[in-house]
Structure 1
Amino acid sequence: MKYTQYAYLIAAGFLFFDAYSKMNSGTDTPYLSLILGMGAVAMFFFRRKFAKKYDPKNNNQ
């Protein structure tokens, strides 16, 4: 479960590359790929925050 958050970074890298290639081709609009890429980066940080929150080693409560 700890390593699944990095799948979002891999997906974001692919989506940003897809958006970049669409911008250079000039035939498609890259907006959907950019939005999904930003969402994937946001999900990475969201999952990382909650993984640290529920980590038993850091739970001092």
Structure 2
Amino acid sequence: MKYSKIFQYAYLVFAVLFIYDGISKWNNGTQEAYVSLALGVLAGFVFFFRRKFAKKLENRNNSK
């Protein structure tokens, strides 16, 4: 279970990196900014989804 928390926060790190990359590409005027921003939003969504699912699983295991 400890490894899943590490990977969970890795998604958050990737989200920040992709959003930073997208903003820097946007300022340069390139079209690849949209791809980086979309990947950043997707990684952020996966972080929050995995965190919610892990808490739900932990609550289920603690209630038994």
Normalising to structure 1: TM-score of the pair?
Answer: 0.84
- Structure 2 residue corresponding to 1:19, chosen from 13, 17, 22: 22
- Written as runs of structure 1 = structure 2, the 5 A alignment for 1:40-51 is 40-51=43-54
Normalising to structure 2: TM-score of the pair?
Answer: 0.81
Please state whether the residue corresponding to 2:6 is helix, strand or coil.
Answer: coil
Structure having the larger proportion of residues in helix: 2
In the TM superposition, residue 39 of structure 1 has moved relative to its aligned partner by 0.4
The CA distance in 2 between the partners of 1:14 and 1:2, in whole Å, is 19
Matched, 1:36 2:39: yes
Number of aligned positions between the proteins:
58
How many percent of aligned residue pairs carry the same amino acid? 50
Q: Which runs of 5+ in 1 are unaligned?
A: none
CA RMSD of aligned residues (A): 1.1
Q: Which runs of 5+ in 2 are unaligned?
A: none
In the TM superposition, residue 31 of structure 1 has moved relative to its aligned partner by 0.5
Please state whether the residue corresponding to 1:54 is helix, strand or coil.
Answer: helix
Q: Which runs of 4+ in 1 moved over 3 A?
A: none
